[in-house]
Amino acid sequence: MSKYGKIMVSISMFFLTMLGLYGFQQGQNVHAKSIFVDVADNYWAKEEIEYLYGNQIISGYEGNQFKPTDPVTRGQAAKMIINAIKEKESTPSKPSFSDIKGNQFSGYIERAAQLEIISGYDDNTYRPNVNLTRGQMSKIIVNAFDLEKSQSSKTVFTDVPSTYQFASYIQTLYNERISNGNGNVFEPGKNVTRAELSAFISRALDDRFKVTAQDPTPAPKPEPDPEPTPTPPPATGLTGEVTADVLNMRSGPGSSYGLVTAIPQNAVVTVHSIDGFWAKVTYNNKTGYVHKTYLKLKNTSGSVLQNRIITIDAGHGGKDVGAVNGDIYEKDIALAVAKLVEQKLKSAGAKTVMTRSSDTYPTLDGRVQTSINNHSEMFVSIHTNAATPSASGTETYYDTSKNENGAESRELAIEIQKQLIALIGTKDRGAKDNSFLVIREQHIPSVLVELAFISNSGDLAKLTSPEYQELFAEAIFRGIKSYYSK
């Protein structure tokens, strides 16, 4: 039998429950005998616990125990909430979360998700066995009981700044007389206990249980004036334009941190610092962290390329010579042009990453990994084409099949292609969508350039000419610069 399973309600228990409610109705000073051995007759949440128990919203444990100070898991909370609003379990063939199949609470979690009472984590998990925090609880209660959400994220609690992700929900609980917190603090990061959750749900269900606003300690009224937001760090002259449909700002540098706010596409954020993939940013007076892959980073002054991390990938190498024409190899032309692009980017202040700097062969996956390991912000792969002798021209590829910055990749491809045609004068074969592995398996703006055809005599002359190699590199450099200038 599950630990949380409902215990049998004995006849005597039934009478004791009635006595408990009767006692409550006589006034707070009457402490009827508790039905649980571990809930004292004068326990602060005794009436609320027994109210929920009597309404079969929460169960006790064997041996007439309630375990009031035990934490509540996210799975258990889903069950309590669904019971409280008199909803039923739901078992669709495809669960809403990847980690709830077979979980004893999956039907409740599913129904709560359908009703938009709960939400999971970014990785599509719900984490049913993780304990629920008081902050998370505030959101669930507000959603479940359709409480009128506070217009402001200012709260009366000294430990809940307006920037906190659940601030407006916590203030709503205060407005609705569901929680006074603990003195002047709410302790949003603490696990909610069974007694606390019982109290909050009872107060949401029945006005009799509501707290009085002045009790136990008068809490300060929310300040009516400009909210005192934490002073954001000094600006660095770097902004980021959101390239994703929506970008989550989190309270810390990682996807497991709580959500601060969601930033819409094309919004521009102020970037304070970048550590690895995480950028500390301010948007709409809120400061937090976002994944920089979904920001087009722009310096507001100086070189647009200053500090940008760009990976240049010279195609093929080593045992893999690429396309061949006589004793001319694609791998050598690609490396020569890649090194020239590297120099130009470095001169403009960029941080360059080379997947290879000599005649070696990194695997395709290895090239992608090099880019990711260096927290690259852009990836440019350089190749030459080959076909029948009559085929000629230049083309630049981007991928929209999997790369989450497919649209940005396309912009970059168009800019580079335009510059190549202008400087080299080859036939314009266009910017094209194709899912080459190196541009598909990462999510930064990524392109693959086919400089020209090694198999065409006119193109070959340009590909092997040092002057033209310089121009190929200059065109790619200008394309990158132009992308960042838009």
Minimum gap (Å) between residue 97 Cβ and Zn ion: 42
Give the per-residue contact string, 404-423, with Zn ion (x = CB under 5 A; - = no). Answer: --------------------
Strand order across the beta sheet in which 295-299 lies: 259-264, 246-250, 286-291, 278-283, 268-275, 238-242, 295-299
Minimum gap (Å) between residue 453 Cβ and Zn ion: 11
Q: How many CA atoms lie within 13 A of 28 on its CB side?
A: 8
Give the per-residue contact string, 142-181, with Zn ion (x = CB under 5 A; - = no). Answer: ----------------------------------------
Minimum gap (Å) between residue 315 Cβ and Zn ion: 4
Query: 189: helix, coil or strand?
Result: coil
Q: Number of residues in contact with Zn ion, rule: CB under 5 A?
A: 3
Binding piece for Zn ion, criterion CB under 5 A, among 14-22, 58-66, 107-115, 320-328: 320-328
- The phi, psi pair for 274, rounded to 5°, reads -130, 130
Minimum gap (Å) between residue 396 Cβ and Zn ion: 13
393: nearest Cα among 402, 384, 401 = 384
Should residue 222 be labelled a site residue for Zn ion when binding is judged by CB under 5 A?
no
**Can you list the positions of beta strands (E) in 214-258?**
238-242, 246-250
Strand order across the beta sheet in which 351-354 lies: 351-354, 309-314, 378-385, 446-453, 394-398, 428-433
- The smaller minimum CB distance to Zn ion, of residues 46 and 383, is found at 383
Binding piece for Zn ion, criterion CB under 5 A, among 168-176, 220-228, 309-317, 426-434: 309-317
Question: 426 with 394: CB under 8 angstroms?
Answer: yes
- The smaller minimum CB distance to Zn ion, of residues 253 and 322, is found at 322
Binding piece for Zn ion, criterion CB under 5 A, among 61-69, 308-316, 366-374, 398-406: 308-316
- The smaller minimum CB distance to Zn ion, of residues 84 and 438, is found at 438
Query: 151: helix, coil or strand?
Result: coil
Binding piece for Zn ion, criterion CB under 5 A, among 27-35, 132-140, 376-384, 421-429: 376-384
Q: 318's torsion region: left (phi>0), alpha (psi -120 to 50) or beta?
A: left
In the numeric block, the tokens 């004893």 are attached to: 104
Should residue 23 be labelled a site residue for Zn ion when binding is judged by CB under 5 A?
no
- The smaller minimum CB distance to Zn ion, of residues 375 and 383, is found at 383
Q: Which pair of structure tokens corresponds to residue 370?
A: 């090099």
* Position among 258, 322, 393, 479 found at the interface with Zn ion (CB under 5 A): 322
Contact partners, residue 174, CB within 8 Å, separation at least 6: 155, 156, 157, 180, 181, 219
Contact partners, residue 78, CB within 8 Å, separation at least 6: 105, 108, 109, 111, 112, 118, 128
- The smaller minimum CB distance to Zn ion, of residues 48 and 332, is found at 332
Separation CA 389–CA 454 (nearest Å) = 9
- The smaller minimum CB distance to Zn ion, of residues 139 and 383, is found at 383
Minimum gap (Å) between residue 416 Cβ and Zn ion: 16
Separation CA 86–CA 148 (nearest Å) = 20
* Position among 222, 315, 317, 445 found at the interface with Zn ion (CB under 5 A): 315
Minimum gap (Å) between residue 345 Cβ and Zn ion: 21
Should residue 383 be labelled a site residue for Zn ion when binding is judged by CB under 5 A?
yes
Give the binding site for Zn ion (CB under 5 A). 315, 322, 383
